[in-house]
Amino acid sequence: MRDVPSEVIRIQEVGMRDGLQSAGQFVETADKIQLLNQLSKTGLSKIEVTSFVSPKAVPLLADAEAVLDAIERVPGVIYSALIPNIRGLERALAVDLDEVNVVMSVSNAHNMANLRMTCDDSLDQFREICTNRGSLSVNGTLATAFGCPFVGSVDPSMVLEWAKRYLDVGIDSLTLADTVGTATPHQIFGLCKAIVDELPEIEITLHLHNTRGLGIANALAGIDAGIRHLDASIGGIGGCPYAPGATGNVCTEDLVHALIFDGYRCDVHLDALFEIALQLEGILCNPLPGLVRQAGTKLTTHPMSDDLRCRLGIP
């Protein structure tokens, strides 16, 4: 029997950015605002609201400023946005925001495909962002930390090296991303444990994709290694357009269900997540990948048919 940590496991919602950027259709600004307002009241610790990238590159999030200007903020929730460069920072500084998230792949091949620059060039941009961020916190995501779609496996020592280089330029917190969902639980445990042990004072988030069905198992392995912050995506939507084969993030409601019923402290309202996922499914007009909402929770039961009751001798 695994030891369940006494600390709260904090769930951070990324579906409104990571999910909607690859949804295949533009979700109306008013719908985004309504979904975000509902998500803010579910007990999530952080919400990545949007992305300040070029509207030409990601037209589905072209309304970033309008969304951030209109949402209702709940005390205690951290509101974050992804930025790719100093221009993104300028836009972020002009709105009400708590944190910016910068992303670099530890694989040069994927970084070139995703950002059109080397890892060292990305780090130079992050240094400039940290110098000019004002009061904003900066989270640094290490993408392809567990494997790259172009070169395969990634040496854990290289991930640790890049994590330290991130901190050297002034980044406040780290995210380890299994961008294409190649990781296995033992791999997750090994790398997370090494980084948690090496950088005990730094808040570390685990960002997982469920590409090969191991998302929740990997999340539990990360918790065993000392991770207390997990990214997840409402309904399981998401994917990386520059990572062939990548599918959706770990589903928020499926992850919360697993944590709650396995005895972890997770202060997120599951029923509220079900309602939001159902609403999002209607907006996208497509079934969402999440499973628990369809099957019901662990406590769900179904009535026996009259025929079966009769055969079993049950009145």
The arithmetic mean of pLDDT across residues 277-301, rounded, is: 93
Q: At what angle do helices 86-93 and 119-131 cross, to 10 degrees?
A: 30
The arithmetic mean of pLDDT across residues 57-74, rounded, is: 97
Q: pLDDT tens digits, residue range 24-46?
A: 899 999 999 999 999 999 999 99
Q: pLDDT tens digits, residue range 88-129?
A: 999 999 999 999 999 988 876 676 767 777 888 888 999 999
Q: Is 46 left (phi over 0), alpha (psi -120 to 50) or beta?
A: beta
* Structure token pair of residue 102: 């910068």
The arithmetic mean of pLDDT across residues 244-259, rounded, is: 84
> Side chain identity at 73, as an amino acid letter?
R
Q: pLDDT tens digits, residue range 204-232?
A: 999 999 999 999 999 999 999 999 999 99
In this prediction, residue 149 carries a pLDDT of 77
* Structure token pair of residue 32: 């985004």
- Is the separation of the CB atoms in 35 and 284 below 8 Å? no
Which pLDDT band holds residue 23 (cuts at 50, 70, 90)? confident
The arithmetic mean of pLDDT across residues 67-85, rounded, is: 97
Q: Within 10 Å of residue 133's Cβ, how many Cβ atoms? A: 19
In this prediction, residue 121 carries a pLDDT of 86
In this prediction, residue 242 carries a pLDDT of 45
Q: Which of 11, 38, 12 is nearest to 274 (CA)?
A: 38
Residues forming beta bridges with residue 103, ordered by sequence position: 141
The arithmetic mean of pLDDT across residues 45-67, rounded, is: 96
pLDDT of residue 9 exceeding 90, the answer is yes
- Residues, the chain: 315
Give the residue numbers annotated as catalytic, written as ranges: 240
Q: pLDDT tens digits, residue range 268-287?
A: 999 999 999 999 999 999 88
In this prediction, residue 106 carries a pLDDT of 86
CA distance 41 to 23: 24
> Side chain identity at 43, as an amino acid letter?
G
Most confident of 15-29, 191-205, 282-296: 191-205
pLDDT of residue 172 exceeding 80, the answer is yes
In this prediction, residue 185 carries a pLDDT of 98
The helix/strand/coil state of 28 is coil
* Structure token pair of residue 184: 């296995």
Q: What is the pTM of this model?
A: 0.93
Q: Kindly report the CATH number that applies to the domain delimited by 10-312.
A: 3.20.20.70
